Amino acid sequence: MSRAVIVTGASHGIGRAAAVLFARKGYSTVINYHRSESEALSLAHSLTQEGCSVLAVQADVSDPVQVKELFQRTEAAFGGLEILVNNAGISQTGLFTDCTPRQWDRVFGVNVKGAFLCSQQAASLFLREHRGKIVNVSSIWGITGASCEAVYSASKAALIGLTKSLAKELGPSGIQVNCVAPGVVDTKMNAGLTPEELQALRDETPLGVIGTSEDIAQAIWFLASPESDFITGQVLSPNGGFLI
């Protein structure tokens, strides 16, 4: 099996940190992006200059045609796939009563349907080899729920359910499926939080810090590495003790 990995939503944040980590550890890395072309191409160029094997591929993960093309390009470039990281995600904040069906569909389209479509494509490749690893990136809010983030929380909870179901279904075929559920992390998604809100979150966290994208990338790496070969269907939540 080719030592190749696809990281969806890899142009910034957690996805970017994960792509960098995999590439520097010797994996042929597909940097998937939707709209952030300049960031993705810049990252690919930088990693190539370091001697890494990378490919930036544009695809909206909620579109089955584009997802199929993403996997076809990966196979053509690297001869196969070993790991899929379903990281692409969007958020929606606001009162539940103000949420529109269109907003609901968009969040679920990327966060859940995207993981479903990519996992289907990956599974078809993994089944041939009787091995492979899928790591889904959920959220602590998928475990606890968050006020004024009902749609986002529901989508991330669905991702946890998908993880557990696929682990049971694909396990007999040698395929592992696990999930990372980050706590509060310093990414664009949380850029709207005020300094006061961030400090309040630090105060609620036993370790007293906000996580970094690199912290979460290390958790993703662990679940994708040989060190996790006896682990499947699990939710690893790096959150500084925010949820115990």
**pLDDT tens-digit series, residues 47-101:** 999 999 999 999 999 999 999 999 999 999 999 999 999 999 999 999 999 999 9
Mean pLDDT, rounded, for 8-25: 98
Tens digits of residue pLDDT in 110-138: 999 999 999 999 999 999 999 999 999 99
Mean pLDDT calculated for residue range 208-220: 97
Q: How far apart are CA 216 and CA 236, in angstroms?
A: 10
Tokens found for residue 80: 């196969």
In a domain, 31, yes or no: yes
Could you give the number of structural domains in the chain? 1
Asked whether residue 199 is domain-assigned, the answer is no
Known active-site residue 27? no
Q: Is residue 192 part of a domain?
A: no
Q: What's 67's domain CATH number?
A: 3.40.50.720
Give the pLDDT score at 231.
Answer: 99
Task: Give a yes or no: residue 196 inside a domain.
Answer: no
- The domain in which residue 81 lies consists of 4-184+216-236
From the candidates 116, 152, 221, 242, give the one annotated as an active-site residue.
152
User: Is residue 244 in a domain?
Assistant: no
Residue 165 inside a domain? The answer is yes
3-state secondary structure of 117: helix
Are the beta carbons of 164 and 233 closer than 8 angstroms?
yes
Contact at 8 Å (CB) between 15 and 135? no
**Least confident segment among 157-161, 174-178, 193-197:** 193-197
The percent of residues in the chain predicted with pLDDT above 70, rounded, is: 100
In a domain, residue 120? The reply is yes
Question: Would you say residue 243 lies in a domain?
Answer: no
